[in-house]
Structure 1
Amino acid sequence: MSQLSFFSADLAPPDVADLAGLLAGTGQAVAAPAGARISTVVADDRRARALAAAVGDSGVAAEVTTSDEGSPLVRTARDPALDALVRDWTRGAVKAVPAGWVPTARALRLWAIASGHVEHGSGADTRYVLALDRHAPDTFSPLVAAMIRAGIAPTLVGTRGGSPGLRIGGRRRVTRLLESIGDCPPELHERTEWPTLTERIPRH
């Protein structure tokens, strides 16, 4: 079945600022004289390939490697173009959400590619969860507020179980998210890893 044809992320050119979507999720940033770097661990090689391609679209080189724990890791090259973004998302040595931040459509897409998954509720109720960084709990409430500013009000879930995330439920909110992030990358499984609706709006 087709995704929604409207794709907000296509309305603006890709930008390094979109990589904030990785930091909103489980991504980490490191500043260095040669330029900052952003990296994030993902669930499998499929996501890694899709994410590296999406990061590359933003104008920053990315590679797929392996974390110390043996999981796929996507990381950017060290790039001075990332310095301002990493400064904005860092308070001391701790990750922090910039005041008033509103996620762009492409930032949401990167977040979904890196760590989004479908959560099936009762009946036809389908919800979508964007993972949060369990090591940065002070980002949770600001990210809820950021999503509300973007017009997609989420529910904070999983904080007690060690798998925190922002749950997006209800047809209107899921539709809004789909309008923003567009089609599922071919590497991902649409039914389990991308927002879905009970009834899809066909392409025209």
Structure 2
Amino acid sequence: MGQLSFFSAETDEPVFDDLAGLLAAHGQSVRSAAGTRVSVVVTESWRAEALVAEMRATGLDAETAISDEGNPIARTVPDHRLDAMHSRWTTGAVKAMPAGWVPSPRALRIWVIAAGRPDAERYLLGLDPHDPESHAPLATALMRAGIAPTLVGTRGHSPALRVAGRRRLTRLVENVGSPPELSGASAQWPSVGDF
């Protein structure tokens, strides 16, 4: 029987800054006169549904949509309460991880929902292929959260941070909690296999 982590997405109260997990992946934030909108295009409907639920848990209005290419989108409505996060994650007009950022358990959960996938006995946290400068800093941020990853796929279209080994996978699982109760979610969720 595993020990309950005191630092888990299931015990933390949702806050706006948890949505930085989308920006760590391939999500975007756009600021307008109406406020900041955070959005991400995902590969599966369950991901969009789960992300909208996470967004709403923070007190934000959110919705799903479909991209021009037919992919699900999860997005907040524009809200000035997200302006500070947008400012921290933007340098000029470019997305950039803030110095010293450490993902909270809920931000890690949101990152897993948006861009996580199993890779044999390892787990991959997807990165933004259009923001290669963020890859190494995000690896460092994950290390600061106690999960040492390996940067993989940087020359392709699917860069990711690979989490391998029982201890690291256990730490990730303890942080992100149980998968959303949606069809398809558990197959893409991190787990500690037989080592």
TM-score class, shorter: over 0.9
Corresponding residue of 1:123: none
Where structure 1 has 5 or more consecutive residues not aligned to the other structure, the ranges are 121-125, 200-204
CA distances 1:124-183 after superposition (whole Å, capped 9, x unpaired): xx1110100001111101101100110001111111121001110000000000110100
CA RMSD of aligned residues (A): 1.8
The aligned counterpart of 1:84 is 84
- Specify the SS of the correspondent of 2:35: coil
Instruction: Label 1:65 to 1:119 Cα distance change in 2 as closer, same or farther (>3 A).
Output: same
1:195 is the counterpart of 2:187: no
* Secondary structure of the corresponding residue to residue 30 of structure 1: strand
Task: Name the aligned partner's letter for residue 27 of structure 1.
Answer: G
Specify which of 155, 158, 161 is matched with residue 166 of structure 1: 161
Structure 1 residue 178 corresponds to structure 2 residue 173: yes
Is contact 1:31–1:83 with CA below 8 Å preserved after alignment?
Answer: yes
1:47 alignment counterpart: 47
SS of the residue aligned with 2:161?
A: strand
- d(CA) in 2 for partners of 1:74, 1:191: 19
TM superposition shift of 1:4: 7.1
Alignment match, 2:95: 95
Which stretch shifts more, 4-13 or 71-80?
4-13
The answer to whether the aligner puts 1:60 opposite 2:60 as a matched pair is yes
Please give the alpha-carbon distance, in whole angstroms, between the structure 1 residues aligned to 2:3 and 2:164.
17
Q: What is the number of equivalent residue pairs in this alignment?
A: 194
User: What is aligned with 1:202?
Assistant: none
Deviation at 1:33, TM superposition (A): 1.3
Which moved further from structure 2: 101-110 or 64-73?
A: 64-73
2:137 aligned residue: 142
**CA drift at 1:112:** 0.4
Map of 2:151 onto structure 1: 156
Q: How many Å apart are 1:47 and its aligned residue?
A: 1.3
Describe how 1:98-109 pairs up with structure 2 within 5 A.
98-109=98-109
Structure 1 residue 35 displacement after superposition: 0.4
Alpha-carbon separation, structure 2, partners of 1:131 and 1:63: 22
The residue identity in structure 2 corresponding to 1:155 is T
The answer for the alignment partner of 2:124 in structure 1 is 129
Q: Could you tell me which residue of structure 1 aligns to residue 73 of structure 2?
A: 73
- Offset at 1:3? 8.5
Offset from partner CA, 1:50-100 (integer Å, 9 cap, x none): 111111112211100011222111110100000000000000111000000
8 Å CA contact retained: 1:5, 1:182: no
Identity of aligned residues (%): 51
For 1:144 and 1:39, locate their aligned partners in 2 and report how far apart those are by CA, in whole Å. Answer: 22
C-alpha distance in structure 1 between counterparts of 2:137 and 2:112, whole Å: 18
Structure having greater relative contact order (Cα 8 Å, sep ≥ 6): 1
Q: Which amino acid aligns with 2:171?
A: R
